[in-house]
Structures are given as C-alpha cells and as structure tokens.
C-alpha cells in the first residue's frame, strides 16, 4: 500500500517527546527516577548515540557543564562493556541536549544493556535487543490488466518494519540532469511467527507521482530505484499496534526504561537497489 509521503515513525516519536520538554511537568514524585533516555542503536553504524535528560521539575536548556551521569553499555551476548562519552549538542531550535556516544557496532541478534548512573548511585537502564539480519527478495513482477506493473518484495526475519520507501533516481535528458522522487509504502505482515513482510511497489502509480512532481511534459528516464526499510526489534511495537501521537506522548505508555522514562530501540536500514527491465519501464512510460 502506498502512502503520499514518507516520515520515519521512530523519529516522529522522539520529536514528539522531545518537543514537549520545555513545558512544566509538575512537581516531581518522591525520589523521582534520575533520567530519561532517548535514541536507537544502529546495526549499520560504527558509533552509537543516545540523548540523556536529567529528570527535574521543568526540562529547559541543559547546562553546559558535564552531566552527572556515567553511561555504560554491556553486550549481554559477549559481556563486552563500553563507557560512553558525554557531548553537548545544540538542536536546530537552539536547545541543547547531552548526547552520550560510544564507538562500536551494535550486532544483530545481540541485546545491549544501557545504564545511566548518577554519582549518588541512582540509575536508569534499558535492555535493547537488536533485530536479526533480514533477508530481502524481489519477486517476479505482476502485470494486471492494462499497463499496470506491480513489483512485490518480501522481507523475512524482520520483526518490525517502521518505515518503507522507494527512491526513484531519474534522468532528465533535456536538461542533462539527475533528480529523484521518493514514495512511501506500508509493509503488510505475512505472519508474526515468520517475521515476514511484503511490500508491493506499484510502479504504474509511482510513475504518475513522478510526473506530477517533475512535470508531465518533461522527458523522464528511470535510471534506478532503491527500496529502503527500517528493520526494528519487538520493543518498537507501539501500544495497540499503531503510532498514535496522543498515546505515545504519555511517557508511561511507550517507555522501555527501568527507573526512568523514554525509549531506546534497536534497528537498521536495509536497502535494495535495482533497475527494472526495459519492457517494464516502457510499460509505465519511464
């Protein structure tokens, strides 16, 4: 199923939660938890990073001094421990946040325990399971009546797919330039037990979207198409199965942090790039 635009759902969650951090959150409970943790471990990155927020009456600008927090991660599979470094990052809106980082690659199928501990011993922690390596396969094209072209793709060993999009790389011969158009998709689960999903790319409908974006009278040639999907582990499943902002903005409803708030997930972006056969491109006018 196609959707008109692409928004990474996991990123929306973080922005929703961080966006409300300037408002008063009322008086703290007795002995409140020390930290709120936000972020994601990425199996495709060599450096990991999370945002660490101290819990207090109001969450405004983080002070420029080092945060009273020692952040570590333990690979529960191998026992390897990393000590994370603090950095102060200024966001686009001028706010600053303490971003802790460590140089390592989060391995698929491993679980990582992240722990942020204050000097008085109070700590917040979260266990982050990483998804397995998914397999992605292009299936034979489906050619319904007319000039429609459907390009099905299946992913297996992918517990959760948060986002899927196809980026079309296009050549404009008249101007001798290259442009691109991105179309978002939904992935249909084929069964939780198999952790399998199908994405049915509608090349015919996407060709119309491309021409709307670049102009109906401009000659366009499809150079390549690239499918990008964010493969995530089970903790990413939202309450009720939908990313409802009214639910996710409540810290108690979508949090996997022990003695704290926030969410830290694990995942990676899987990509598949190819160029459809000439006959298929001619069928849709690309």
pLDDT, greater one: 245 or 100: 100
Contact call for residues 127 and 111 (beta carbons, < 8 A): yes
* Interval 80-91 mean pLDDT: 92
Q: Where are the alpha helices (DSSP H) in the chain?
A: 9-19, 203-214, 245-248, 278-284
pLDDT band at 226 (very low <50, low <70, confident <90, very high): very high
Distance CA 117, CA 277 (A): 56
Which domains are assigned to the chain? 8-132+234-266 (2.60.40.10), 135-231+270-284 (2.60.40)
pLDDT band at 238 (very low <50, low <70, confident <90, very high): low
* Interval 78-101 mean pLDDT: 91
Looking at residue 148, what DSSP letter applies? -
pLDDT tens for each residue of 137-147:
999 999 987 88
Distance CA 41, CA 160 (A): 15
């Amino acid at each position: 199923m196609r959707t008109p635009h692409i928004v990474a759902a996991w990123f929306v969650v973080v922005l929703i939660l961080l966006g409300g951090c300037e408002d008063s959150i009322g008086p703290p409970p007795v002995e409140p938890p020390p930290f709120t943790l936000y972020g994601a471990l990425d199996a495709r990155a060599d450096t990991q990073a999370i945002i660490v927020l101290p819990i207090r009456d109001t969450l405004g600008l983080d002070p420029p001094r080092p945060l009273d927090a020692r952040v570590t991660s333990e690979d529960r599979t191998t026992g390897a421990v990393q000590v994370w470094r603090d950095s102060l990052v200024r966001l686009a809106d001028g706010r600053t946040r303490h971003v802790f980082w460590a140089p390592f690659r989060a391995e698929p199928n491993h679980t990582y325990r992240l722990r942020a501990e204050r000097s008085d011993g109070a700590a917040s922690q979260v266990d982050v399971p990483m998804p397995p390596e998914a397999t992605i396969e292009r299936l034979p094209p489906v050619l319904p009546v007319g000039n429609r072209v459907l390009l099905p793709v299946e992913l297996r060993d992918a517990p959760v797919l948060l986002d899927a999009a196809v980026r079309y790389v296009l050549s404009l011969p008249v101007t001798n330039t290259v442009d691109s158009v991105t179309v978002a998709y939904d992935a249909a689960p084929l069964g939780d037990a198999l952790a399998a999903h199908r994405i049915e790319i509608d090349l015919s409908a996407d060709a119309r979207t491309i021409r709307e974006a670049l102009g109906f009278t401009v000659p366009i040639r499809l150079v390549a198409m690239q499918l990008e999907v964010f493969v995530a582990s089970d903790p990413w499943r939202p309450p009720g199965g939908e990313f409802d902002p009214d639910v996710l903005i409540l810290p108690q409803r979508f949090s996997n942090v022990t003695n704290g708030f926030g969410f830290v997930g694990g995942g990676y972006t899987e990509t598949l790039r190819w160029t459809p056969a000439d006959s298929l491109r001619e069928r849709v006018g690309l």
